[in-house]
């Protein structure tokens, strides 16, 4: 179900406050962690009919548990801004509200790029606080294009407000760092470059000559460096100067400035192209290669912390990877339409200490997924997936423009957990029906 709402109303989230409270009350008694009992709650099909290239939850607000600023900071959504997500495919981008409309998903912004022959290739969220004049604040979505341009979409205005031009080849990935608001990294694999941008001045500050082998990037939470994954399974560490200290003019950073992380981290094993990287904390990072191997490693300690193999990865696994802001769970899909939620090693240890009675705790301790989710008769490869920071929503995009949202239902309504009637109750019901039929005759 998709509920279409006004796309230019910055007070949208504030107006839905009562609906949000009612929705939360209805969900009392539901599991607080992902499980295989989650079912498809919403199916979204984009009208461009193309493959969804990226789906991303907004993570520009403070970590859960920390006090967020007033609703004016997040386009009127307040703390529920973490349940706003975006999809990109074809020449279109869409922003959805996944929390404030009960059983529905609210379409907040639908953007179509009209430049002929140009498609949108990826996206990431940027912290708009301090960079907007809207009284209720704003949310900014950065979009990569096949033309090499980077566009900044304002949710409050439902329009492109900034354009970054400099790449001569398609944008592969985008990355931001919470320590560097207002700045952006963009990767063009074919161009062999990563560029550092001052988004709101529309100026390129530095170009990193990473080479055409780099397939993925992630910017560290402290903003001091970024990690790049290569086509041969390598991982590189590139230093990033404080953007405010960079002088006028574009700085060129040569390959010699990078460090080989794979050689520096004991036990790290990637034999094929690393196509997805995410930071799980300030010192730990998750990386995934196309053979379905996922590794968790500590760059500061120089050691591998854990490894998983995505089930059903005998075929190439080109799914994206996502991790919650607290680093407890990550999600990844396979080539057969299934998406899996894993618990990180650190979270497994915490679960043991608190004596978790979670039904999937034993599976997690063995490195198995705590949730396996797949839509009925959908066997197309999962191209991208995401998990919300409150652990309640899992998104999976596959096929021609389909996105599936998985959630828990109350036990009595969930077809996966619905229990058969007791024998006595069934017999009593049958006897009553027989008596009624006899009387009627």
Q: How far is CA 327 from CA 45, 149, 287, in A?
A: 30, 31, 13
Query: Average pLDDT for consecutive 10-residue bins of the chain (441 residues)?
Result: 40 36 52 92 93 95 52 62 93 92 87 96 94 89 98 95 97 96 96 96 96 96 96 95 84 89 88 95 94 93 92 86 94 96 71 47 65 92 95 94 91 56 51 50 45
The 10 Å Cβ neighbour count of residue 284 is 20
Distance (Å, whole) CA 6 – CA 379:
35
Give dist(CA 273, CA 277) in Å, integer: 11
- Phi, psi (deg, nearest 5) at residue 104: -100, 165
Return d(Cα 190, Cα 185) in angstroms, integer.
16
Q: Which residues of 165-183 are buried (b: 16+ CB within 10 A; e: fewer)?
A: ebbeebbbbbbbbbebbbb
What distance in Å separates the CA atoms of residue 206 and residue 54, rounded to the nearest whole number?
26
- CA dist 81 and 83 (Å) reads 5
Spatial separation of the C-alpha atoms in residues 63 and 389, rounded to whole Å: 9
Residue pair 139/152 in contact by the 8 Å Cβ criterion: no
pLDDT of amino acid 351: 52
Short-list 305, 281, 310, CA closest to 295:
305
Q: Report how far residue 42's alpha carbon sits from residue 255's, in angstroms, rounded to the nearest whole number.
A: 45
Distance CA 382, CA 343 (A): 20
* d(C-alpha 32, C-alpha 287), whole Å: 26
Instruction: Check: CB of residue 215 under 8 Å from CB of residue 275.
Output: yes
Residue 130's CB is within 10 A of a number of other CB atoms, namely 10
Supply the pLDDT for residue 363.
Answer: 47
pTM, two decimal places: 0.84
Give the per-residue pLDDT at 369. 94
Task: Give the pLDDT confidence score for residue 222 in this predicted structure.
Answer: 94
pLDDT score for 69:
52
Residues in contact with 349: Cβ distance below 8 Å, sequence separation at least 6, in sequence order: none
What is the secondary structure of 375-424 as a DSSP string? -TT--SPEEEEEE-TTS--EEEEETTTEEEEEEPPPTTT-TTTPPPPPHH
What is the tens place of the pLDDT at every residue in 186-229?
999 999 999 999 999 999 999 999 999 999 999 999 999 999 99
- Kindly report the CA angle at 208 between 184 and 152, in degrees rounded to 5? 20
């Amino acid at each position: 179900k998709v509920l279409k709402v006004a796309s230019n109303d910055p007070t949208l989230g504030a107006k839905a406050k009562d609906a949000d409270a009612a929705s939360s009350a209805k969900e009392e008694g539901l599991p607080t962690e992902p499980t295989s009992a989650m079912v498809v709650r919403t199916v979204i099909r984009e009208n461009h009919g193309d493959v969804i290239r990226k789906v991303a939850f907004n993570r520009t607000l403070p970590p859960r548990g920390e006090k967020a600023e007033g609703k004016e900071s997040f386009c009127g959504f307040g703390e529920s801004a973490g349940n706003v997500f975006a999809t990109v495919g074809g020449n279109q981008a869409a922003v959805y509200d996944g929390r404030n409309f009960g059983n529905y998903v609210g379409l907040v912004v639908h953007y179509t790029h009209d430049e002929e022959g140009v498609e949108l290739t990826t996206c990431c969220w940027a912290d708009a606080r301090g960079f907007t004049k809207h009284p209720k604040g704003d949310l900014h979505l950065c979009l990569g294009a096949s033309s090499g341009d980077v566009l900044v979409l304002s949710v409050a205005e439902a329009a492109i407000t900034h354009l970054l031009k400099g790449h001569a080849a398609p944008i592969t990935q985008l990355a931001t760092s919470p320590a560097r608001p207002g700045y952006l990294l963009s990767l063009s694999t074919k161009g062999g470059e990563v560029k550092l941008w001052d988004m709101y001045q529309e100026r390129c500050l530095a170009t990193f000559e990473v080479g055409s082998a780099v397939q993925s990037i992630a910017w560290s939470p402290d903003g001091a460096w970024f990690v790049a994954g290569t086509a041969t399974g390598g991982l590189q560490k590139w230093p990033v100067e404080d953007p405010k200290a960079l002088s006028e003019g574009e700085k060129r950073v040569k390959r010699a400035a990078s460090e080989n992380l794979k050689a520096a981290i004991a036990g790290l094993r990637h034999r094929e192209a690393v196509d997805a990287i995410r930071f799980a904390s300030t010192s730990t990072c998750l990386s995934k290669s196309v053979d379905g191997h996922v590794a968790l490693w500590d760059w500061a300690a120089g050691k591998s912390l854990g490894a998983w193999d995505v089930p059903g990865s005998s075929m190439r696994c080109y799914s994206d990877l996502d991790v919650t802001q607290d680093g407890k769970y990550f999600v990844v899909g396979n080539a057969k339409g299934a998406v899996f939620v894993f618990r990180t090693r650190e979270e497994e240890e915490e679960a043991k200490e608190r004596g978790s009675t979670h039904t999937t705790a034993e599976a997690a301790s063995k490195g198995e997924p705590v949730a396996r989710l797949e839509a009925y008769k959908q066997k197309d490869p999962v191209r991208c997936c995401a998990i919300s920071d409150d652990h309640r929503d899992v998104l999976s995009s596959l096929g021609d423009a389909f996105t599936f949202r998985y959630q828990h239902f109350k036990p009595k309504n969930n077809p996966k957990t619905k229990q058969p009637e007791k024998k006595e109750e069934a017999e009593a019901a049958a006897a009553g029906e027989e008596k009624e039929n006899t009387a009627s005759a």
